[in-house]
Structure 1
Amino acid sequence: MNRVPVIGFVEEIARFEEWMTDPAAETTVFSISGIGGIGKTTLLMEMARGAGRASAMTLWLDGSGETSTSGAFLTGLETTLESEYGRTRPADMPLLTFVVAELSRQRTVLLLDNGERIDRLEGWLLSSFLPKLASAQVLLAAASRNGLPLTWRTNPHWGPRVRSFPLQPFTRREVQAYLRHSGLAADVQEEIARKSEGHPLLLALTVEWMRSNGEAAPRGIPSIVTAELLREATSPSLHRVLTAMSLLPPSDPQTLNRMLDAPLDVADVHALGRLSFVLGTPQGWALHPLVARLLREDYAAAFPEAFRRLRRKAFALLEERFPEADKKSQMRIAGHVLELYREFLPSTNAYAVFTSNVDIGERRPFEPADLPELQRLLAASVEENNWQSELALAGQYAALLEEIAAHSPEGICVVRNAEGRPIAFSAGILLHARTMPLLERYTPEFPVLLGEEAESLRQLPPEAADTMLVALAAVDSSRSVYQPEEIGGVLMLEWFIMMTGGWRGRMVSADPQLNGLLSVFGFHDLGQVGGMTKWEIDFRHVRFDAWMKTVIRHTGADGGNGEERPAGGTGERMRLAEQDAKLILQRLYDEGDALDPYVGDGGRYRTKDELRGKVLALLTEERPTHPLSPLDQRILRESYLTKARNKNQLADDFHMSRTTFYRHSQSALRRLAQALNG
């Protein structure tokens, strides 16, 4: 029977073969790490086969038993040398001397599997064993869940010789390559590829499950892998901790305790540190994304009501954390909440599929080096009459993208694949005095689109800009690995994550499919212009959590379970942020519903009159409430209550430049929000 080809490990095998063929190769250490079932042992086996083909001596050790002491380690090597290569130690030769001599005779590959306990030997290995092989050609490949301890990488002599290989789930292309040998029907392969998380063990079990059950299409992912991963936990009591962690982004123990019925104890803390899928980050503990997803799905299927309650609890914690987080952290929280509530997003649309697992790379802002690839995506999109290019003049798309990259690069949202290559983008113009001429040149419809705001935007300094007009968008429709709609779904979510930083977004569309999707996603219809619908979403005045609840409510997918209620239920009061304070001041005496989110059940104040009274007291009292200052009071009164002068005149009145006045205004709004929260 032919052996099924091994998929993946391209980089790891390349580095291995590079060492094998280097005539001047020196003794080197490979640190192979990854969660259970990710393929660590399979990679070691591939290295063993490669070493055998090159006639290198190959020795295999099991770290679970042969790393307890230096004697056990050397005895294991001696046994393998004798049984595999007929090398027998002379009676009068010390064991260490014999092993070092044999390993130094020829190029040798030493494979250590299950190396979790190598820390017991690291002092001896680094100071006594490896130095004797420094001039030999020995490759030590050690596989463990968390990789070699930091001691190895910081060692002055051996640190430079350590190469780290953290194994990742299969990419979509690798999943497809694996499935080609499965014997399953093509449509079933495609469905598995679209839904798979790329975990090798999970993928293998899915294929075997499909073969044995003969299903036409997979109904779900077998929960056996979740149980397999949980068996790595040293105590069953950790299940409650891991489930709570699956609903949170990286969190410190104090935050995690707020999700638990009983706080973490010392044993829990130590046990978590030993799990391969618990990652340490600057923000705290985090579960490997695959494990978190599996745990959530498993818990939601087994205990749906309990899962919804726990998810609402997580949402309440994130809702509380969001206003006080920096912009980068806010984007991280927004992405996490979208993942938690992905089941409520529209399942499919002509422009976006939100149920697929697309393997995207690190979230990074636009870089000038991206521009040629974005132009290629745009040219293909224009040729196929696809995606959003309706606002700009025909034939001017490439020139407009060049201008946006030069004058409004912060308006470009890029989605990258795992290798960092752009696979989708949207390009928005951040509206201010320097970019308004771009609209005049490339989008002649802009005066109608912006209305009375156009004139004030022509005077707005760049540092005060907060409105983004989306002009272009494209996805890589040439990729056979992902459908354009799958990449489109990721682009839309990434754009929303970017906008949660406090932007207002505007766009136009004549496509009924896109218009329907924008409506579901909480955009406001601003009317028609030239046969196109004007759309706006305003994250300057709408909190992200409130927007998320709107999306859930519009989908009608909550089944009446109360997901749309203020997170945490009656009695928990929302915390106000800078954008909330600004909206309250702008709409303080409006008769509409703008102030509704801040009063009543879930709001900070009982009635609108109570809220108005509190704001007026804070801005007029003789001794300002901390942290407001008299200058804060004056700036906010003159800007939002008196409103007798424009921003330029106010800046002159306060003897400030326009930029300095804007900065003081933002700080005053932030301090007003803190005072309203008091």
Structure 2
Amino acid sequence: MENMARHRIIGFDREMMSFTDWLTDAQAKTSIFSISGIGGIGKTTLLLQMARTARQFSVRSLWLDGRGGLTTLGSFLASLEMSLATEYGRTRDRDAALLSYIASELSLVPTVLLIDNCEEIERLEGWLFSSFLPELKSARVLFVCASRNGLPLQWQTNPEWKSRLRRFPLRLFTREEVYDYLGSSGLPVELQREIAQKTDGHPLSLALTVDMLFSESAEERDVWREVPAVLSAEFLREAASPNLYRALTALSLLPAADEALLNRLLDKPLEGADYYQLTALSFVRDTMDGISLHQVVARILREDFARRTPEQFEAVRHRAFVLLAERFHSVDHRMQMRLSAHILELYREFLPSAHAYANFSSSLKPGEQKPFQLEDLPDLQRFMKASILGSDWQSELVEPADYPALLDGIAARFPEGIFVVRDEKGRPLAFCAGLWLHALSMPLLERYAPGCRQMLGEEAFSLHELPLEAADTIFVLLSAVNSEHSLYRPEELGALLMQQWLVHMTRGLRGILAAADPQLNALLSVLGFQACGKVTGFAGIELTTWELDFRQSAFDQWIQRIIRQTETAAAQPALPRENDHRLSIERNEMKQMLERLFELDKLEELPVMRRFCWSGMQVRATIQEILADTHQAGPLTAMEKEILIAGYLRKDRNKSELAASFHMSRATFYRHMRLAEQHLAYVLGDRLRQAEGDSL
């Protein structure tokens, strides 16, 4: 009974409902179900459940296994004949043709034909479509085909059978389903939580972990070491050659990679055919950014790689950090967000797994990112109330009694300052709230957090004059998670909030906050925040001011801090090299150069010009050349070039007229202008590096 309790069938409601509908439909016709998914996700388990259900409904079921050799029509028909004989005592007359006999038998009574491991079925496609399936078109047969990649495209586009085909790609377990599975296991609640965190909803990982914990030698076994090793071996069985094996372990460290990028991470480049073989593996997807590993498979391969050869893993991961940092400014905004998320995923194991505010050992995936909605406010107030009762950090700049009113004020007047992390159904799990700093928001900030003036210093005066559309700094004041959630620990949600907020900030924003809690201060330091001094909060509390600045080129500085923290003796020296800082240009420096582009004497007075030892004439000619070039230069798009030309070279319209000419609001135009300045700074810096290299 204990063993049965540990192997309850869960997570197949949709598939089993469709299967049962077919069994109970007296008018059902011959149909095809295609079950697909990565290794260990439950394809065989689902087929076994379907076989049991068919017996309960007294419907005949036959089982074929592709690993037994279903690559020829003779073996396919022979396997069916054997199943009919051994399972149901049906035998063929000596004079009857095999195909006619099988077609006749399958037409006699409703039949479910379960085919597991049917990866090689494409070899029989022509014969199945031309000779076998037409014989059964008016019968009542359900073909259930399970394979890692699903039935080939020809099945989905065949004019005769595509309307009878249903696809069922299997998914990972939700956290709720994992707890459902573990509920009757008898394992302690805390251990169930740890299992839920570390198995990522992968069914085979979950089953193996539970089995090992119940084994007689459980106390002597390192379950968290053994399970990834077993699963990585299972996944790598698909990779027949050592070259593919090496490529997969390297790919596990990248969000996506084309052949050139993957080869930069390998000591020995792949042969061309090997790269295309990777795309055929069940857990590798071909995307617009290159090939990408299934997230769970990538994690498992990384864990196994790290445990087998830790020094080699650390060296390769370090090279991956450097590669991703190099790529950041040469890709579009969508890919920048993806790179940021992946960098944080690789960095996760360097972050604390046990912390008062965040537990980074769990790799939770948030739901869709949606802006704050007014209907979210009751949930956020409830989270914050529970946080206050638990004495968790909010803001020592604000009187605790004012927290609810402050949150209401932000929601009513400046809702863009609220960042919400949601579950798969769109319900809030956690939030942080602050104010984008500009002339309209500063009075509210100073009303509730008077200590902000000390934090901001002289900048406070200019912020009182800053228009809304130019705001690029968020002052964080409140933060809370759903501490009463039944499925997630508060520390897991805290980690999820911090990770997602960091990714959000890489769009080119600056975040400011202040804290007195030493644990929070230590965590902020590890996350790449910069300490900017001390200020005094309410009741005379001394606070540390923290800043995370992704404006201009600060992402490079942040990722370099990450790289330095992950360096090992085996790793390559971190970039940038000694002279790279001298050859990088900040966005504000680029803006100053553009503003003085036609005043050479003023242009040459800029500190950035003296750093490069360039003449004003050279800089002006190079910038004009970049903007006039019809080819895209790195991250600088054609539209961004037009914006810079209109704003700095022609200078015949004011900002409102420019925004209207590009069919944008002033706020949107300002954001595009800042991004264009940042991208031009990167391209110009790249030209400088090339010029210096040519002169050596």
- TM-score band (shorter)? 0.7 to 0.9
Shift of 1:259: 1.5
Q: Deviations 1:307-346 (Å, cap 9, x if unpaired)?
A: 2221122122111111111122111111111121222223
Comparing 490-499 with 479-488, which one deviates more in the overlay? 479-488
1:376 maps to 379
Match of residue 484, structure 1, among 481, 490, 493 = 490
- The answer to whether structure 1 residue 496 and structure 2 residue 502 are counterparts is yes
Listed as ranges, the matches of 1:218-233 within 5 Å are: 218=222, 220-222=224-226, 223-233=229-239
**Amino acid corresponding to residue 158 of structure 2 in structure 1:** N
**Percent of aligned pairs with the same amino acid:** 45
2:216 maps to 212
Judged with a 3 Å threshold, the aligned counterparts in structure 2 of structure 1 residues 545 and 628 are, in CA distance, closer, same or farther, namely closer
**Amino acid corresponding to residue 582 of structure 1 in structure 2:** R
Listed as ranges, the matches of 1:266-345 within 5 Å are: 266-345=272-351
Listed as ranges, the matches of 1:550-629 within 5 Å are: 550=561, 561=569, 566-567=574-575, 580-584=585-589, 612-614=610-612, 617=615, 621=619, 623-625=621-623, 627-628=625-626
Judged with a 3 Å threshold, the aligned counterparts in structure 2 of structure 1 residues 666 and 200 are, in CA distance, closer, same or farther, namely closer
Listed as ranges, the matches of 1:236-251 within 5 Å are: 236-251=242-257
SS of 1:212 mapped into structure 2: coil
Match of residue 28, structure 1, among 31, 41, 48 = 31
1:644 maps to none
Q: Is the 8 A contact 1:499 1:505 kept in 2?
A: yes
1:539 maps to 550
Judged with a 3 Å threshold, the aligned counterparts in structure 2 of structure 1 residues 24 and 287 are, in CA distance, closer, same or farther, namely same
SS of 1:121 mapped into structure 2: helix
Comparing 3-12 with 479-488, which one deviates more in the overlay? 3-12
Q: Measure the CA separation in 1 of the matches of 2:536 and 2:26.
A: 70
Q: Measure the CA separation in 2 of the matches of 1:335 and 1:549.
A: 16
Judged with a 3 Å threshold, the aligned counterparts in structure 2 of structure 1 residues 481 and 187 are, in CA distance, closer, same or farther, namely same
1:524 maps to 531
Shift of 1:361: 4.1
SS of 2:430 mapped into structure 1: strand
1:642 maps to none
SS of 2:621 mapped into structure 1: coil
**Amino acid corresponding to residue 408 of structure 2 in structure 1:** A
Q: Measure the CA separation in 2 of the matches of 1:611 and 1:300.
A: 46
Match of residue 399, structure 1, among 383, 402, 408 = 408
Q: Is the 8 A contact 1:400 1:442 kept in 2?
A: no
2:520 maps to 514
Comparing 420-429 with 299-308, which one deviates more in the overlay? 420-429
**Amino acid corresponding to residue 673 of structure 1 in structure 2:** Y
Q: Measure the CA separation in 2 of the matches of 1:131 and 1:466.
A: 65
Match of residue 176, structure 2, among 173, 178, 181 = 173
Match of residue 673, structure 1, among 649, 660, 682 = 682
**Amino acid corresponding to residue 275 of structure 1 in structure 2:** L
Shift of 1:252: 0.7
Listed as ranges, the matches of 1:75-474 within 5 Å are: 75-90=78-93, 94-182=97-185, 184-210=187-213, 211-215=215-219, 218=222, 220-222=224-226, 223-358=229-364, 360-362=365-367, 364-367=368-371, 372-373=375-376, 375-385=378-388, 389-390=394-395, 391=398, 393-396=402-405, 399-400=408-409, 402-403=411-412, 408-409=415-416, 411-432=417-438, 439=445, 450=456, 452-454=458-460, 456-457=462-463, 459-474=465-480
Q: Is the 8 A contact 1:549 1:564 kept in 2?
A: no
The number of aligned residues is 630
Q: Deviations 1:250-280 (Å, cap 9, x if unpaired)?
A: 1111111112222222442353233222222
Q: Is the 8 A contact 2:590 2:680 kept in 1?
A: no
Q: Measure the CA separation in 2 of the matches of 1:381 and 1:536.
A: 23
Gaps of 5+ in 2: 594-605, 629-646, 660-668, 688-696
2:638 maps to none
Q: Deviations 1:386-431 (Å, cap 9, x if unpaired)?
A: 5565459343366346436xx544x444433345544223344434
Gaps of 5+ in 1: 589-607, 631-648
Judged with a 3 Å threshold, the aligned counterparts in structure 2 of structure 1 residues 269 and 427 are, in CA distance, closer, same or farther, namely same
Q: Measure the CA separation in 1 of the matches of 2:518 and 2:626.
A: 48
Judged with a 3 Å threshold, the aligned counterparts in structure 2 of structure 1 residues 86 and 240 are, in CA distance, closer, same or farther, namely same
Judged with a 3 Å threshold, the aligned counterparts in structure 2 of structure 1 residues 613 and 573 are, in CA distance, closer, same or farther, namely closer
Q: Measure the CA separation in 2 of the matches of 1:332 and 1:266.
A: 26
- The answer to whether structure 1 residue 46 and structure 2 residue 57 are counterparts is no
Q: Is the 8 A contact 1:396 1:442 kept in 2?
A: no
Q: Is the 8 A contact 1:361 1:419 kept in 2?
A: no
Give RMSD over aligned pairs: 3.8
Q: Deviations 1:208-244 (Å, cap 9, x if unpaired)?
A: 4332333299563312222232222212332211111
Larger helix proportion of the pair: 2
Q: How high is the TM-score relative to the length of structure 2?
A: 0.79
**Amino acid corresponding to residue 537 of structure 2 in structure 1:** G
SS of 1:623 mapped into structure 2: helix
Shift of 1:539: 0.9
Q: Deviations 1:157-180 (Å, cap 9, x if unpaired)?
A: 433433332223333333334444
**Amino acid corresponding to residue 4 of structure 2 in structure 1:** R
**Amino acid corresponding to residue 112 of structure 2 in structure 1:** V
Shift of 1:449: 5.7
Judged with a 3 Å threshold, the aligned counterparts in structure 2 of structure 1 residues 320 and 622 are, in CA distance, closer, same or farther, namely closer
Q: Measure the CA separation in 2 of the matches of 1:12 and 1:236.
A: 37
Shift of 1:549: 4.0
Shift of 1:484: 0.6
Q: Is the 8 A contact 1:115 1:142 kept in 2?
A: yes
1:57 maps to 60
**Amino acid corresponding to residue 265 of structure 1 in structure 2:** E
Q: Measure the CA separation in 1 of the matches of 2:456 and 2:375.
A: 31
Shift of 1:495: 0.7
Comparing 2-11 with 34-43, which one deviates more in the overlay? 2-11
Q: How high is the TM-score relative to the length of structure 1?
A: 0.81
Q: Is the 8 A contact 2:552 2:678 kept in 1?
A: no
